[in-house]
Chains A and B, each alone.
Chain A
Amino acid sequence: MLRHTTHWVTKPANRVDGPDKANGKAKYAGDYRVPGQLATRALRSPIPHARILRIDTSAALKVPGVLAVITSDDFVDHGRFGFPVADNFILAYQKVRYVGEGIAIVAAVDAEAAEAGVRAIELDLEALPVIEDMEQALLPDAPIIPDVVTEGSKHGQPNICLTQIVRNGDPEPIIDASPVQLDQTYATPFQEHAYLEPEAVLSIPNPDGSVIIYACDQSPFNNRGVAAAVLGLPQDKVRVIQAIVGGSFGGKDEVVYQMSAQTAKLALLTNRPVSMVFSREESIMVSYKRDASQIRIRLGADRDGTLQAARVEAWLDGGAYSAETVLTAWRAAMHLAGAYKYQAVKGDVHVLYTNNNYSSAFRGFGNTEAVACIEQAIDEIAEQVEIDPIDLRLKNIIGKGDQTMTGATLNQEVGLRACLEWVRQKSDWDRKRREFPLQNKGRRYQKGIGVACYFHGMGLGGEGTDFANATVAIERDNSVTLTNGLTDYGTGARTVFTLIAADVLGARPERIKVLLTDTETAIDSGPTVASRASVVGGNATRVAVEKIAQLLTFAAANLLQCAPAQILRDKEAFIGPDEEPVDFDTVVNHARKLGYVLSAHGRWQLPVIHWDFAKGTGTPYVGYTFGAAIVEVTVHSGTGRVQADRIWAAHDIGKVLFPEGAYGQLYGGITQGLGYGLMEEVEFNHGYIHNVNFDDYIIPTAMDVPPIEATFIEAPFHLGPYGAKNVAEPSMLGVAPALANAVYHATGKRIRELPLTPERVLLGHALHNDDHGDNSRQWLGYGKGLGNVRVI
């Protein structure tokens, strides 16, 4: 695959979009200013669950400055969308199912007029009973939330959307016969993505009835598909251009599809550009979350600590619409019992409907929840058998040739052991495990240290065909233009593509420009999720560029009158048998003279694997990344406050292509894991979100992040470009459970419920702030009356 040594890949490099971002020139979707652009405001549901009895928008249309108002009636099939389960709507149809759900959108000359328009809409709602949590969703007389027939309906549980399973032998009898057993339930919270850029979209109509959508989306092709379907347009009449995206972490899919379709419709109706920019409150109230979970884990082990079997059952609060939680649940199922060898594993992950906003993709995609729980359980087993937690892990982790918990055989290099050993050594683990408990006696500040490790399946796996398309063209000025159907929403993917193209082509990175993904110029590559951009998108880039590189070699051979095999490359130079270097421009110009077409397309696909969803058996992924984290904490015994003092992390991500980018992803992921473990929790009170802005929803600041010492274990992966795997998601996985294990080491208290807020550490449970959703209500306009909304 590699024909010459690397000059650019794996070396220090500047992010290609870095300078524009650092000097304020980068344009995010909310930064576009187009003449005649209209502003929008939404009428949103003030209550968690209701039937829509009547909407009358005629008074709104009479408000000065208002140009159009839309509802679900303005879309094909009432704007129904959603994959895999089509239970969601562009605007609420017949019912509202969560606080803040969009009901109508007003476009007007300015925000004030749009706001006045919203308040003029007449809306009658009939309040329905609210399902506040998963327990209520399962009660026999619970109101049914979805308007689709669910898998659970067959078993008298209509609020169970579906259950994802893994079946690898029969663990229960083995557990029952094991001398060491564990049966515990763990809980993880809803988490807000809290990307710094609130969602924004701008739609511009074209004279031919088509529309351009500038969006902060993660997956422009999926966005186009949804918009075209609900607008009743052929796909080529909808062009989606991805603006620079201010962070996503899985969070800018469904919510941005809704905004895109809404603004596109309004743009077509008014023949004016239409923008929609969320405030932070709107973003937190309206956009989806990481699901909250409850995971019951039963483990059986021998007295020497050898794990025998696992039976795991998980319940995910998917909220009002299933969105990608259906797939999240599958990924959770594939990782429930962790990176260990077992004789048998059985897992069930149920997706439940409630009236708590809705859940969908978020970094780690189900595995974050799974790792958070299983890694605490493993520590509990270690304690029972009185073995050091790292020793117990080393005894049980999977290696090359072993069967994973799903029963599939691992056919790749596995750097997990090396990761655990690295963090153990760097953190001075053995001494601290021994000494901290002795030092803590009678002290107010208690020190602890905890570990966690993980595996993470690469790419979509059984979720779908894993492919990408890239194009490359050498322009007239001999610059190189790339496109890729997989996108960069802050992850550095464009830089990775640039470096790969530079190396394969032998062209300086400065020559190369990766266009923002535009559905008109790039080729559909499915969704940009599952941290697959580097591997799948990178390989597609390689395939495309290799074609041009070969043409240039032919041209150089022709110019130097030698055989193509005699041409050597050194950076931009082509060197023939006479050792006379010819530069890149000369060769490109000669190739043109020869009539070569200097553009190409590359497609690359991961090998097809098969997972049987009904049976819960098969091969879930083509490969895995691995990692381990250790966190050292200080717990204040009087207040319960936990402070992370140091973090060590080692990640086996294959070859590192863009070191600054990879470390950035690693530190960023660790920090999100720290938030997840210590402070982040979207609190619902009767369906209303309590923390709708950064004064109440607290994410880590620079003060909260301790020194991080991290490394990459580069166990090569045969399918990745240059042996690379992915990093974006796995980096956050180990932190929260390592924190929980460290807090246990410090205090002797096993809390089993994240995040580890002072109340939980002190009292063992959360103190819920029962404010009846005052923050949400205030934002929704309760204080000013609710305009013309009547709740019956």
Chain B
Amino acid sequence: MNTQIKFTLNGSPVMVEAPGEISLLRLLRDHLNLTGTKEGCAIGECGACSVLLDGRVVNSCLVLAPQVNGREVVTIEGLGQQDGAHSASDLQAAFVKYGAVQCGYCTPGLVIAGEALLRSNPMPTRAEIIDGIAGNLCRCTGYQQIVDAIEQTALQRAERTQQHAAAKVQE
């Protein structure tokens, strides 16, 4: 049975007809053609399907599509475009720069998890970063460079915020 689902996706309103029992992951991939969000297990164990739901990271394979009605979803495709205080593209660039990307299949989920972490905790310790990405499996990297990328992004953002504040004071 198809049902109508209305929500905000990457900043724009969308409306889709889809079967009511499918997951948000299937809705994104099969009905909205957003294939940046990946399926690695479909049971909530790998984090490859991570998206932001009302700003919090969730495994989209465990969310039923109709549950997002009236809510706000951000996928990997939408992260870079968000303007706000921090565009996540700096985090994406850091993933590349610090060697946190190998096969890349886990990367969208880890970027989302990293972004969610930095939004709630702008200056995490290494242990907090490890904790923040513990729900995301990566088989290629051994995680070290992923932690580096998130840590360095936090530092850069802090520096930028400081410069910003200093500039304001000067004005």
Most buried by B among A21, A198, A249, A660: A21
Interface string of B56-92 (1 = CB under 8 A from A): 0000000000000000000111011000000001001
Q: A75 to chain B: closest CB distance in Å?
A: 30
Q: Once bound together, how far apart are the Cα atoms of A549 and B137, in whole Å?
A: 43
Contacts of B29 in A (CB 8 A): 31
Q: A706 to chain B: closest CB distance in Å?
A: 10
- The 8 Å CB contact of B75, one of A24, A246, A665, is A24
Q: B102 to chain A: closest CB distance in Å?
A: 5
A27 at the interface (CB under 8 A from B): yes
Q: Is the CB of B145 within 8 A of A664?
A: yes
B27 at the interface (CB under 8 A from A): no
Q: Once bound together, how far apart are the Cα atoms of A194 and B105, in whole Å?
A: 12
Contacts of B36 in A (CB 8 A): 23-25
Q: Is the CB of B134 within 8 A of A196?
A: no
Instruction: Tell me which of A52-60, A133-141, A484-492, A533-541 binds B.
Output: A484-492
- The 8 Å CB contact of B38, one of A197, A669, A693, is A197
A-B CB pair tally, cutoff 8 Å: 173
Contacts of A490 in B (CB 8 A): 102-105, 140
Contacts of A491 in B (CB 8 A): 102
User: Provided the pairs A196-B137, A663-B99 are in contact, do residues A24 and B105 lie with their beta carbons within 8 angstroms?
Assistant: no
Residue of B nearest to A244 (CB): B104
Contacts of B43 in A (CB 8 A): 280, 693-695
Interface string of B28-61 (1 = CB under 8 A from A): 0100011111111111011010000000000000
A438 at the interface (CB under 8 A from B): no
Contacts of A33 in B (CB 8 A): 33, 35
Q: Is the CB of A198 within 8 A of B77?
A: no
- The 8 Å CB contact of A246, one of B89, B105, B135, is B105
Q: A192 to chain B: closest CB distance in Å?
A: 10
User: Provided the pairs A15-B99, A22-B92, A280-B41 are in contact, do residues A668 and B140 lie with their beta carbons within 8 angstroms?
Assistant: yes
Interface string of A653-690 (1 = CB under 8 A from B): 00000001101111111111000000000000000000
Q: B91 to chain A: closest CB distance in Å?
A: 8
Contacts of A30 in B (CB 8 A): 35, 39
A26 at the interface (CB under 8 A from B): yes
User: Provided the pairs A23-B80, A24-B77, A198-B40 are in contact, do residues A664 and B102 lie with their beta carbons within 8 angstroms?
Assistant: yes
Contacts of B103 in A (CB 8 A): 21, 195-197, 244-248, 489-490
Instruction: Tell me which of A292-300, A327-335, A452-460, A696-704 binds B.
Output: A696-704
User: Provided the pairs A33-B33, A246-B105 are in contact, do residues A693 and B41 lie with their beta carbons within 8 angstroms?
Assistant: yes
Q: Once bound together, how far apart are the Cα atoms of A17 and B96, in whole Å?
A: 9
Q: B82 to chain A: closest CB distance in Å?
A: 13
Contacts of B139 in A (CB 8 A): 193-196, 247, 249, 668, 672, 699
List 5 additional contacts besides A22-B107, A246-B38, A702-B133; criterion CB under 8 Å.
Answer: A25-B77, A244-B104, A490-B105, A700-B142, A708-B142
Can you identify 29 A-B contacts, CB atoms within 8 angstroms? A14-B96, A17-B104, A18-B96, A19-B93, A21-B101, A22-B92, A22-B96, A22-B108, A23-B36, A23-B89, A24-B36, A24-B77, A33-B33, A196-B48, A197-B40, A247-B102, A279-B42, A280-B40, A280-B42, A661-B99, A667-B145, A693-B41, A694-B45, A695-B43, A702-B130, A702-B134, A702-B147, A703-B130, A703-B131
